[in-house]
Every structure is written in C-alpha cells, then in structure tokens.
Homo-oligomer: A and B are copies of this chain.
Amino acid sequence: MHFTLGELAGRLGAELRGDATLVIRSAAGIKEAGPGDVTFLSNGKYRAHLETTSATAVIVGPAEADHEHPVPVLVVDDPYRTFLQVLHLFAPSLDLPPTGIDPSAIVDPGATLGERVAIGAHVVVRPGAVLEDDVVVMAGSYVGADSRIGARTLLYPNVVLRERVEVGARCILHSGAIVGSDGFGFAPTADGHVKIPQIGRVVVEDDVEIGANSAIDRATTGVTRIGRGTKIDNLVHIAHNVEIGANSVLCAQVGISGSTKLGSWVTLAGQAGLVGHIEIGDGARVGAQGGVTKSIPSGETVSGYPATNHARAQRVYASMRHLPDALRTLRSLEQRIEELEARLATSTPPARTETEFHETLREHARVSGGRKE
C-alpha cells in the first residue's frame, strides 16, 4: 500500500505544501517516523521535531500553514483526526477467516448463524448460540450454549464465551479473553468452602473492546454488565455482578470486586483495584495502582492507597519524603522545649499541676478531634 503525497492530500482533503510526487508507504509518530512515512503535529510541545523529523511529510494544523518548513506539510483543520484516517489507509487488512465455517470447526446444528458469519479453524459453537450477521470467530475460540454475539463482532483466536453470555454488536474480544467464568463465591463452613452456584449471566453491550487475557465473571444471580462503548485493556479482572456504564475505560491489570457499580465515562488507570459493593460516579477517575475502598462521587479524581482526592493525595505523597527529617526535627523540638521549660521553671512557677496539664491535653485532643488514632 502506497500513495504519492498528491494522492494522499486528495484523499484527506488536505492542502499540500511540497512535492506531490513523493511516495508515502506508512505512518508513524513524529519521533519515530522515517523516510516514506507521513506523520502529524497536533501538540505544540513537539513542534521542535518539525525541524528534525525524518518523515517524508507532516500533517499540520492551520497555524503552521504560513511558516516555512524543511519538510512537505499537509495542512488540515485537525491533524490528529486526519492522522487517524491515515492509519486506516495504511492498516494492513486483517487475516480473518473467510465467510462460512472452517471444516475443522464444530458448530452445533442447534446454533443459529446470520449472514456472512465467518468461523475459523477448530472453533466450537454450542447449541442455542446465536451469531448475528458478519460475526467473525477466529481459530480456537469457544462460543457456549445459548450465548449470543451481535452483528460485526470479532473474536480473536482462543477466546472463550461460556454459556448464556450476551455480547453486543461491533465488539472486539482479544485473544485469551474469558467471558462468563464463574463468580468467586463460597460459603465457609467448618469443613471448608461450599461453592455458591453462579447461575447469572454476563451482558456485554455494543461497541465494547475486551483486552487479551482479561476475565469477566458471570453474576451469582442476575447480570454482570459492561456498558456500551466501554473499553477494557489486557489482564483486567471483573468480578460477578459488577455493572459498568457506557464509555468507561479500564486500563491493564485493573481489578473490580463483586457487585461494584461504575457509571459512564469512568477511567480506571493501570493496576487500580476496587473493593466490592461500592459505586463509582460518572466521569470519576482512579489513578494507576489506586486502591479504592469506598464510593467515589461523579467527576472526582482519586489516587493512592487508600484512594483519596487526587490533589490531596499528591500533597500527602509529596510530603511523605520529608517525614524522616520531620521526625528528627520533632525530637529536637521536644528537647528544646524541655530545656525552655526547665529554664522557666527556675524563674516562674508552673501555672498548674502536671495532672491538670495532661487533662488539658486530653481535652485539647478531643476538641481538635476527628483524628483517628
């Protein structure tokens, strides 16, 4: 796949400043790009790279249109958006199985396949499963009994959908993703843990992406739900009866405990962990490795362990490095106060007895209160 710079400008609706006969073969970021690549500049802080990039051409915004540049530029309104178009242009076509059922796949006669469904090698589709139009199931994947997959959804190799799982339209499930494994529920007895049957389901709504080796457990009763447009990275754990709203983003290695509910547009950064039975409001954000132990209101950003307001957490963590010095200073002040008290004792008599003094201190602590000790 390649284009001349002139062809590319035409396809992108861009204004070209430079040699239209140059050939573009791929796309890359401004630091990594080399000859034959087109790149883009949308963030001013990378502007210096315009002078040094080895790219053959750079997509820039209107502000750059009137400057001289050592490299051909394609002027557009929104360089980042245009670069996304470019990525699609240069994306190699995926190696998907052809429409139809691979002879090595085992599709139960009780399954229902829509139009143009493509089933790869060694796939298993169980009775009662429904695969809507244009679904693609790649090699080694398993679609459990009575599961349903919406139109145009893609399962990469070695995905497992257990029984009675529902996946919406236009979803992407990456290799090793497991949807519908049993929730982790046991009733302890003197003899050991008795398994609590996990008879619920999982519903994954439309336009969801689930990363490699992530696992989403089925509900004990009812539904574990992943809302429309939510994106889940690799190695994420979602426990039974979790409910996630629309358009949330869960970065890699996040873990969410049972029955916790997330609103829409929530962001959980990498390795964040949430306890069970809490609620995370719309638009809330949790920093990387944050340990969330209680509900978070809408729009709030939290971080740290246990997670608290991010701005406050930053102040706390920044002050922590002063703690060893502070403890030393504290001991020194204690000593200096003792010295002062000793000196004053020789000049002025104490206003009250030792006992009264400690009473007062205790009173003081109570009044200044609320400090957990």
Contact = CB atoms under 8 A, between A and B. Distances in A.
Contacts of A104: 104, 106, 122
Nearest to A287: B291
Interface stretch (A8-16, A23-31, A68-76): A23-31
* Residue among A158, A335, A339 with max Cβ neighbours from chain B (10 Å): A158
Indicate how many identical chains form the complex: 3
A343 interface: yes
Contacts of A360: 335
Interface in A75-101: 80-81, 84, 87-88, 90-92, 94-95
A314 interface: yes
A91 B221 CA distance: 9
A228 B32 CA distance: 21
Interface string A128-152: 0000000000111010111000000
Interface of A: 26-29, 32, 37, 80-81, 84, 87-88, 90-92, 94-95, 102, 104, 106, 120-122, 124, 126-127, 138-140, 142, 144-146, 156-158, 160, 162-164, 172, 174-176, 178, 181-182, 184, 186-187, 192-197, 199, 207, 209, 211-215, 217, 220-222, 228-229, 231, 233-235, 237, 239, 241, 246-247, 249, 251-253, 255, 257, 270-271, 273, 275, 288-289, 291, 293, 304-306, 308, 312, 314-324, 326-337, 339-344, 346-348, 351, 357, 360-361, 364-365, 368, 371-373
Contacts of A26: 199, 221
B251 A253 contact: no
A330 B328 contact: no
Contact of A144 (B95, B144, B195, B239): B95
B126 A106 contact: no
A177 to B, nearest CB: 9
A211 B184 contact: yes
A221 B175 contact: no
A339 to B, nearest CB: 7
25 contacts: A28-B222, A29-B221, A84-B187, A87-B221, A88-B197, A106-B139, A122-B124, A140-B142, A140-B158, A178-B234, A193-B229, A193-B249, A211-B215, A257-B288, A288-B293, A318-B373, A320-B320, A326-B330, A329-B334, A330-B333, A331-B361, A336-B337, A340-B340, A343-B348, A346-B348
Given A329-B330, A331-B368, A368-B331, A196 B87 contact: yes
A81 to B, nearest CB: 8
B213 A176 contact: yes
Nearest to A346: B348
* Residue among A87, A237, A348 with max Cβ neighbours from chain B (10 Å): A237
A84 B193 CA distance: 13
